[in-house]
């Protein structure tokens, strides 16, 4: 019911002390890193996300080249941690999303510029024979292809036999302030669109047969969320004015579970809200910066300093 | 205060019978055409738009080629009406907006594909000597150029001396349902961004010295508007449940002037709402269709069937 | 050795009367249509192309909307002929090439805008339950993905089980004048890049298990070909001046088999010529027109007038 | 007559010791820098370029991030040298070319990402009040706008009064090997297209009233040049075989002035060669790298480390 792709936001909305959800925040390599672990089916249901580990890295400063470099290095370092213990000898990077829509283009833009070596290992064995085997694909979106992302990726994976899949995608956050400023990594894979439980859609170890790490950055917020925030703020303002504790509507609005209120708004906006998104006006600049962080982080995690990365 | 670029929406929000505002709807050439005339300074202030004529054409069916052709012909026909009595021998088409942001790209995409003849008249005088002189420019956006649109256009206009300027732009509407489905033409020109009263920004007869016709299509909605719509619907739902006419907050929310409530929401969302927009998830497909209608409508109005239009 | 993707050019270079190659030109539906049939292994070797049928349609006028419509209808009509007798109930359209390189982008641009129905048949069975099942994919290029096109397409095809594959691609012609002005259809499939005999690369009935129709338009010419043309013209000019029939070099140049001379030039330009292409300066406008013809032709052949095609 | 935009190539074609042309090569800041000075009208006519200073910087390694950074720093350093003694308090960066054609897009891509401050000086005076005033514009190409580049730039310049113009453009080189690997800076400005002597086209101190520095990188080669190279190589090969010094055609071809032979080829290819270009197959990757070098070099020269450059 909660419209956020970020585990850290889902957890915040439920407050502390949910059983089956463990969270900690620490400084790692200069960045603030929050790890949310969903350890029980109950926690998974409460947060609306599969059991697993969700790591959130704050991007301190995406506007300067040095800030982006630091963010890319944090991404690389967290990615390497998440790859530990997994066979990462053959990696398929999947760029999700629609590259004709500015905020949705970052996954494709990053995946297209990952330095791929799979073909080079054969073509130039002396130079690349010992390189990690990396390939990439941008499967496109259902509306333009008629094919579920999971079907395309599984079909390709059965041919090229990766040992690990890394899916890169634009996410939706609850908060506008997280757009372009947070990286999420998870070992649970990804379910493009709203396709929970749709196995043709899901990219996960269960559907792919190999581990799937998902990397994403919020680029849009949900319209109903923005409306809900507006209402919260509006109520706050009105309460100050109308100090009437017996007021019924106010009590109703306040007394509601946050999720219930969101559900009501979501229903009110339906069917429009399902078909719209909210994004910042400078989304073109944000998308450029985010793609750069993603591709450099991926290249660093996958190849280190072993090769001069082509671009 | 009202965040819509459409005069027809501004008028709807004020109800019938505003002095200095005349409106009529009729069928013209198969399309529903609404004309709003703002005839007095008072009407201009009430609607937040300069005095002048605003013509709105409904796009009945943007999804089929025939529907787009019909819409382009309606645009051409209304544009020709608006050009009547004006010297349209030398036309400069100005494509406004940022072509790196999908919904904001339609003005540039249309202007770039208007068939320009200004240079051909000299290079190929036998073929184009008697063509209407058409040129086009895409001045870019302030954040990327550091130059106000009005300064660029005026500088170019002083060199090439057009007798008429047609500015093409993506608009913001109040209603999500108008996105990609309404054409607005006006003889008052345009004020890119929120720059009312900023003469370096404004494209109008006053600032340019020649008539300026603005053509636009709503491609985004204002985030505060969407929130306000959600609240209206929420109140509606709650009223049904809480049949308590003594309820104070409900009375407050209902009793407010719509504009006051909007202002409160806008303030609540500030500063974020100024920096975000709401757009449909299939904005890429909508933008393609809208650009096609705009460019074909412009080409038909400017050149008729005189030349095979190149694309 | 001959660097052209067009069977009609390969045949022209060998003159009339090659055994195993049959060719005829006729008017069909207003367009000039040339059919080259390669009927024997010997003919295949001579022309450097697999046995099969190659249909070439001249685009009379790509610059006017009516001309493009006529070309799209010719394409649709030839495509329907080629689909006859094949099971075309489930069609996968494959857009080949690199959409970041203007002349190489037409296959992807066309495939992305084919009206796909595969997912709609399930989601909206009343409307689309009886539609032909169409899907599309753009597998990308080896240098950016590390995966051979044939591997990607085969992997996807094994998941979605098309009964027919239509591959769309930009071609290289020998003659500059064919760029953007010729459509080639063939039932032999396609071999992206220079990968003859590379089964991971080839898209053909042999490698895919279902018929593969390839549709292409020349968008570039080979640099060595342009040089060779220059030399032919140069010799012509010099002969006029130096009427010396005993001249040895002239005799050598003239006496050479055209292919031998081309081979010499190709070798002279190596390794550069393998890595460069020649394209017209207005390739952006040509690519737009060609994509429009391709997508409209495909949509018409696949869906007829059954659905309003979205764009 | 010589089809190269690089002074260093024009000089090479004429050999050493042309009067009015001085050239020196040295290492500066790790890069090989060649300075060609054309000091007399005679030299200008011989090289087909206006009198002035042409600085060529070799890009040693565009493939690695460090190599691109070094190239950007060399560009910045040479640009600062060329700006010395000029009033660079208000700089207008002009991005030339057509951004829909991959090799022609680098000027626009670089100019769009120069950090512009002109509007910020007023909007945020505390932060940017002391910044160098930088603005940018992409005037588009004549075929799409109907307006000569020089007219647009002059019109804008008369409004915003820059003290210095920096024009950035893709160039044509004679040699394929210089594509993407050479930076040229000149204080003579630029003449887009073949418009020598066309004052509406030219961007120079004479036409603009303020100094114009042009920065460019070869992205295409001329088709006739490639043909001519092929012929040279072909003759070389044939000479080895046909050791016949009395051969007339060979003597003719050899005896010709290089320019005369080029002219003959150019004429032979006309009108096609005027309308085509040769470019590498990986031009998309090259264009990305070149844009990055250009924008970082410009930003460093214009702003130093004073501001965190946004992207």
C207-222 pLDDT, tens digit each: 999 999 999 999 998 7
Cα C130 to Cα A289: distance, rounded to the nearest angstrom: 45
Which of A143, A230, A252 is facing B227, going by the closest CB pair? A230
Q: Which two tokens stand for residue C158?
A: 């094994």
Whether A134 and chain C come into contact, CB under 8 Å, resolves to yes
Mutate to test the interface with D, among A119, A288, A304, A310 (most CBs of D within 10 A): A310
Task: Inform me whether the pLDDT recorded for B259 exceeds 90.
Answer: no
Mean pLDDT of A242-267: 59
CB-nearest partner of C116 from A135, A138, A144: A144
Q: What is the 3-state secondary structure (H, E, C) of chain D?
A: CCCCCCHHHHHHHHCCCCCCEEEEEEEECCEEEEEEEECCHHHHHHHCCCCEEEEEEECCCCCCHHHHHHHHHHHHHHHHHHHCCCCCCEEEEEECCCCCCHHHHHHHHHHHCCCCCCCHHHHCHHHHCCCCEEEEECCCCHHHHCCCHHHHHHHHHHHHCCCEEEEEEEEEECCHHHCCCEEEEECCCECCCCCCCCCCCCECHHHHCCCEEEEEEEEEEEHHHHHHHHHHHHHHHHHHHCCCCCCHHHHHHHHCCHHHHHHHHHHHHCCCHHHEEEEECCHHHHHHHHHHHHHHHHHHHHHCCCCCCCC
- pLDDT (average), residues B33-49: 93
Residues 6+ apart with CB under 8 A from D176: C272, C276, D221, D226, D278, D280
Q: Which residue has the higher pLDDT, C115 or C201?
A: C115
* Mean pLDDT score, C52-74: 94
Contacting residues for C57 by C-beta, under 8 A, at least 6 apart: C31, C32, C33, C71, C74, C75, C78, C182, C183, C184, C185
Shortest distance between the Cα of D265 and any Cα of chain C, in A, equals 6
Residues 41-70 of A with CB under 8 A from D: 61, 63-67
Mean local confidence (pLDDT), D138-158 = 96
Contacts of D69 in chain A (CB under 8 A): none
* C-alpha–C-alpha distance, residues C208 and C160, integer Å: 12
CA–CA gap between residue A61 and residue C50 (Å, rounded): 57
Residues in A closer than 8 angstroms to B170, CB to CB, are none
Of D275, D224, D242, the residue nearest C264 (C-alpha):
D242
Chain length of chain B? 311
Residue D91's closest chain B neighbor by CA? Answer: B146
* Interface contact flag, C269 D233, Cβ < 8 Å: yes
Among candidates A117, A118, A145 on the partner chain, residue whose Cβ is nearest the Cβ of C136: A145
Helix extents (H) in C84-222: 106-112, 120-123, 125-128, 142-145, 149-160, 205-208
CB pairs under 8 A between B and D: 97
Q: Answer yes or no: is pLDDT of C248 > 50.
A: yes
Q: How far apart are CA A269 and CA C20, in angstroms?
A: 67
User: Does B112 contact D at CB distance below 8 Å?
Assistant: yes
Average pLDDT over residues B87-105: 96
Tell whether C281 is within 8 A of chain A (Cβ): no
Say if the Cβ atoms of A101 and B283 lie within 8 Å. Answer: yes
Q: How many residues does chain C have?
A: 311
Q: Are B249 and A238 in contact (CB under 8 A)?
A: yes
Interface test with C, best of B99, B119, B286, B311 (most C CBs within 10 A): B311
Contact partners, residue D137, CB within 8 Å, separation at least 6: B139, B140, B145, B147, B152, D92, D93, D94, D95, D111, D152, D153, D156
A117–chain C Cβ distance below 8 A for any pair: yes
Task: Specify the pLDDT at position A72.
Answer: 96
Half-sphere exposure of B285 (CA within 13 A, CB side): 17
Q: Do D237 and C268 touch (CB under 8 A)?
A: yes
Instruction: Calculate mean pLDDT across residues C152-164.
Output: 97
Residue B257 phi, psi (nearest 5): -60, 140
At D11-63, the pLDDT tens digits run 988 877 788 999 999 999 889 999 999 999 999 988 989 999 999 999 999 98
Is B172 within 8 Å of B220 (Cβ atoms)? yes
CA distance B190 to chain A (A): 19
Does residue B163 carry a pLDDT above 60?
yes
Q: Give per-residue pLDDT as tens, C97-145.
A: 999 999 999 999 999 999 999 999 988 999 898 889 999 999 999 999 9
Of C176, C237, C275, the CB nearest to D276: C176
> With an 8 Å Cβ cutoff, are A276 and B275 in contact?
no
- Could B311 and C67 be called an inter-chain contact, meaning their C-beta atoms sit closer than 8 Å? no
pLDDT at C16: 73
> Angle at the Cα of A140 (from A182 to C130), degrees rounded to 5?
135
CA–CA dist D309, A155 (Å, integer): 43
> Could you identify the residue written with the tokens 């120069």?
D114
Who's near A38: CB < 8 A, 6+ residues apart? Answer: A7, A20, A21, A44, A47, A49, A50, A51, A52, A54
Question: Would you say D36 and D7 are in contact if contact means Cβ atoms under 8 Å apart?
Answer: yes
Which of residues D157 and C202 earns the better pLDDT score?
D157
Nearest to C156 among A112, A135, A147 (CB): A147
- Residue C64 to residue B308, Cβ atoms within 8 A: yes
User: Which residues in chain C have Cβ-Cβ distances shorter than 8 Å to A155?
Assistant: 152, 154-160
Instruction: Look up residue A147 and give its two tokens.
Output: 């094919």
Taken in order B265, B267, B272, B274, the sign of the CA dihedral is: positive
* Pairwise CA distance, residues C230 & B59, whole Å: 53
Structure tokens at D283: 């031009």
- Write the pLDDT tens digit of every residue in A58-76: 999 998 888 999 999 999 9
3-state secondary structure of A291: helix
Q: pLDDT value at position A245?
A: 47
Chains that touch A (3 or more CB pairs under 8 A): B, C, D
- Please check the confidence at residue C296 and state whether its pLDDT lies above 90: yes
The answer to whether the Cβ–Cβ distance between D139 and B137 falls below 8 Å is yes
Two tokens, residue A205:
């170890």
Evaluate if residue A275 carries a pLDDT over 90.
no
Q: Is B181 helix (H, G, I), strand (E, B) or coil?
A: coil
Query: With an 8 Å Cβ cutoff, is B142 touching chain D?
Result: yes
**Interface residue C295 vs chain B (CB under 8 A):** no
Tell me the chain C residues in contact with residue B292 when contact means C-beta distances shorter than 8 Å. Answer: 311
Name the closest residue on chain A to residue C93, using Cα atoms. Answer: A145
Contacts of B46 (CB under 8 A, 6+ apart): B14, B18, B20, B21
Chain C, window 219-238: residues with a beta carbon less than 8 angstroms from a chain A beta carbon: none
A158 → chain C, closest CA residue = C155
Query: C-chain residues within 8 Å CB-CB of A146?
Result: 116-120, 133-136
Note whether B52 and B187 are within 8 A (CB). Answer: yes
DSSP of B186-213 = ETT-B--TT-TT-TTT-BSHHHHSS-EE
Distance of residue C310 Cα from the nearest chain D Cα, in angstroms: 24
List the one residue out of B249, D169, C93 whose CA is nearest residue A242. Answer: B249
Query: Are the Cβ atoms of C248 and D242 closer than 8 angstroms?
Result: yes
pLDDT digits (tens, 9 = 90+) for A162-180: 999 999 999 999 888 899 9
Instruction: Label residue C259 by pLDDT band (50, 70, 90).
Output: low
pLDDT band at B154 (very low <50, low <70, confident <90, very high): very high
User: How many whole angstroms separate alpha carbon B74 and alpha carbon B59?
Assistant: 9
For B123-146, the pLDDT digits (tens) are 899 989 889 999 999 999 999 999
| Pairing assessment for the beta strands A21-28 and B164-173 based on DSSP bridges | unpaired
Question: Residue D115: its pLDDT value, please?
Answer: 94
Q: Which residues of D touch C250 (CB under 8 A)?
A: 248-249
- Min CA distance, C221 vs chain D (Å)? 9
Give the distance between the most distant pair of CA atoms in chain B.
80
Measure C66 CA to nearest chain B CA, in Å: 9
Work out how many CB contacts closer than 8 A connect B with C.
30
- The whole-number average pLDDT for the span A35-41 is 95
Residue A125 class from Cβ within 10 Å (0-12 exposed, 13-18 middle, 19+ buried)?
Answer: exposed
Residue B261, SS3?
helix
pLDDT at res. D4: 87
Q: Does C311 touch chain B (CB under 8 A)?
A: yes
What is the token pair recorded at C235?
């010799």
Who among D102, D231, D247 is closest to C101 (CB)?
D102
With an 8 Å Cβ cutoff, are B156 and D160 in contact?
A: no
Of C285, C292, C311, the CB nearest to B289: C311
Alpha-carbon separation of residue A280 from A283, B143, B223, B275 (angstroms): 5, 14, 10, 5
Percent of chain B with pLDDT over 90: 62
ipTM value of the model? 0.89
| More reliable by pLDDT, D157 or D311 | D157
The per-residue DSSP string of B215-257 comes to EEEEEEEEHHHHHHHHHHHHHHHHHHH---TT-HHHHHHHHS-
Q: Is A307 on the interface with B (CB under 8 A)?
A: no
> Is A119 in contact with C135 (Cβ distance < 8 A)?
no
Q: Does residue B305 surpass a pLDDT of 70?
A: yes
* Interchain contact, B139 vs D140, CB within 8 Å: no
Structure tokens at D239: 């000479």
CB neighbours of residue A14 within 10 Å: 15
The reply to whether residue D288 touches residue A311, judged by beta carbons under 8 angstroms, is yes
Interchain CB contact of D13 with B (< 8 Å)? no
Query: How distant is the alpha carbon of residue D81 from its chain centre?
Result: 17
Query: Minimal Cα distance from B137: which residue of D?
Result: D145
């Amino acid at each position: 019911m909660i419209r956020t792709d970020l585990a850290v936001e889902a957890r915040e909305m439920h407050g502390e002390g949910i059983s089956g959800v463990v969270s900690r925040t620490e400084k790692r390599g200069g960045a603030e890193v929050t790890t949310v672990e969903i350890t029980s089916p109950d926690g998974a249901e409460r947060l609306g996300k599969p059991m697993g580990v969700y790591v959130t890295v704050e991007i301190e400063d995406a506007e300067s080249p040095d800030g982006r470099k630091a963010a890319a290095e944090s991404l690389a370092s967290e990615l390497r941690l998440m790859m530990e213990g997994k066979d990462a000898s053959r990696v398929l990077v999947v760029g999700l999303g629609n590259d004709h829509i500015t905020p949705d283009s970052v996954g494709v833009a990053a995946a297209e510029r990952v330095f791929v070596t799979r073909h080079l290992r054969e073509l130039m064995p002396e130079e690349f024979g010992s390189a990690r085997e990396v390939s990439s694909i941008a499967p496109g979106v259902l509306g333009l292809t008629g094919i579920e992302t999971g079907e395309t990726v599984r079909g390709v994976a059965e041919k090229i036999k990766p040992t690990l899949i890394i899916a890169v995608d634009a996410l939706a956050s609850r908060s506008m302030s997280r757009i372009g400023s947070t990286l999420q990594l998870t070992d649970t894979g990804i379910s493009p669109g709203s396709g929970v439980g749709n196995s043709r859609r899901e990219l996960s170890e269960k559907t792919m047969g190999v581990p799937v790490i998902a990397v994403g950055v919020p680029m849009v917020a949900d319209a109903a969320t923005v409306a809900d925030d507006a209402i919260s703020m509006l109520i706050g303002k009105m309460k100050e004015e109308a100090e009437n504790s017996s007021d019924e509507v106010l009590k109703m609005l306040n007394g509601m579970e946050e999720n219930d209120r969101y559900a009501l708004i979501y229903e009110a906006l339906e069917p429009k809200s399902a078909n719209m998104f909210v994004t910042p006006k400078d989304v073109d600049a944000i998308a450029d910066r985010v793609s750069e962080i993603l591709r450099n982080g991926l290249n660093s995690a996958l190849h280190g300093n072993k090769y001069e990365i082509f671009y």
